[in-house]
Structure 1
Amino acid sequence: MEELMKTKIAVILSIVTVVIGIFLIWYFTPKKYSETLDGVYYQLGTEGIIEHIKVHIDGKLENHINGNKTFHGLIDFKGDKIPNIPKDRAELELHYDGHNFTTIFSPFRKLNGALKGRIRPDIYQYGWMYTNDKFTDFTIKLTMNGSLTLSDGYMITFPASDREEAMKKSQKLIKEFEQQ
């Protein structure tokens, strides 16, 4: 009887160990993250919005043992009035390390239209992005290699449908980052 009980316990512990192992492998394996979100492009210090835009994020999202998430990928904005990066620049990249803040940048310049893959390292900063721990709400202070003034700078917040929602989300995300 005692031998049967030990066997049952060993089988149950083996099953639990395998299930936990499978879950951990799934949880810590980087996952494809591709989202297109509606956002708002607006200027601080003025009323209304400048434009409703689409923001597309595409890359790999990874969970870590400390609970943080990291993301490496590309970000793209679609709209008529939103500032575009210069034509000779690489796509905008986003390298998020789990601390509710990152920069959005283009890491290099394409030479001669990138014929035969010729590039030159030359960082172009587009803006500073603040996000929540779940990587679901975002706000970006646009810098575009310049400086941002808090009274009249430009912002992108997503997902958001109007300026009021965008402003509230933006203030919350920046405040959460500053309190860390």
Structure 2
Amino acid sequence: MKVKIFIVFILILGLFSTWYLIPKRYETTLDGVYYQLGNEKVFEKVKVHLDGKLQNHINGRRTFNGIVSFEGKELPKIPDEQTELLLDSRGGNFSQIYSGFKINEGIAVPSIYILGMLYTNDRFTPFSISVFNGEPRTWAPSNGFMISAPAQTREEAWRISQKLMKKFGVSIAK
């Protein structure tokens, strides 16, 4: 009898582990805020779309691999010839959002365009993006541009950014 219970337990554990570790489709739209540090006048509500696969790992980390898109009037425009923005987060709470190719005469050729750096937590719930803006495409903690989600107000967005970036030693202006 004990052997049967042990076998059933092992089967249940195996099924749960398989379910837990298999990548799952993750598609969501979050309300967020685009703002500039140190400048109260720059503020816009935006929508952030994530479409990809979220995977749990044995060590407790989550990874995301997929497409990111944004809706908003004031957001920096991605060059038309660039392919869609990708996010390949390997679970270190820090990653870049980029496009690796551009379309040149109907052919995809390597051309890296980086929108910015993503900061998140282990659960991949709130996140903040330091957006590279202007020419040259730079970012500074005193006057850089940010996207934070989920957030409705500039204050809420700033708190999310401050909390997530602090663990990387980045202190940002309000």
TM range (shorter): over 0.9
Deviation, structure 1 residue 42 = 0.3
Aligned residues: 168
Q: 2:130 aligns with which of 132, 141, 150?
A: 141
> How far off its partner does 1:149 sit?
1.8
What does residue 69 of structure 1 align with?
62
On the 8 A contact 1:100/1:177 being kept in 2, the answer is no
TM-score, with structure 1 as normaliser? 0.90
Instruction: Kindly report the root-mean-square deviation, in angstroms, between the aligned alpha carbons of the 2 structures.
Output: 1.3
- Would the alpha carbon gap of residues 20 and 178 (structure 1) be closer, same or farther in structure 2, given more than 3 Å must change? farther
Whose strand fraction is larger, Structure 1's or Structure 2's? 2
Report Cα offsets for 1:41-66 as digits up to 9, x if no partner. Answer: 00111115521000000100111111
What does the per-residue CA deviation read over 1:60-118, in whole Å, with 9 as the maximum and x for residues that have no partner?
A: 01111111111110000001111120100000000001011000000011112xx3xx1
Contact 2:62 2:90 (8 Å CA) reproduced: yes
Unaligned 5+ segments in structure 1 are 1-7
Instruction: Tell me if the contact between 1:125 and 1:143 (Cα under 8 Å) persists in the aligned partners.
Output: yes
SS of residue in 2 equivalent to 1:168: helix
Is 1:163 aligned to residue 127 of structure 2? no
Paired amino acid for 1:51: E
Residues 106, 124 of structure 1: 8 Å contact kept: yes
Match of 1:131 in 2: 120
* 1:146-176 residue CA offsets vs partner (Å, 9 max, x unmatched): 1112221110000000011001110000013
TM (norm. structure 2) is 0.93
Q: State the identity as a percent.
A: 46
2:39 alignment partner, one of 33, 36, 46: 46
Please give the alpha-carbon distance, in whole angstroms, between the structure 2 residues aligned to 1:132 and 1:64. Answer: 15
C-alpha separation between the residues in 2 aligned to 1:65 and 1:76?
29
For 1:49 and 1:171, the matched residues in 2 are separated by 18
Deviation at 1:143, TM superposition (A): 1.1
Structure 2 unaligned blocks of 5 or more: none
- C-alpha contact (below 8 Å) 1:127/1:141 kept by paired residues: yes
- The structure having more radius of gyration, on CA atoms, is 1
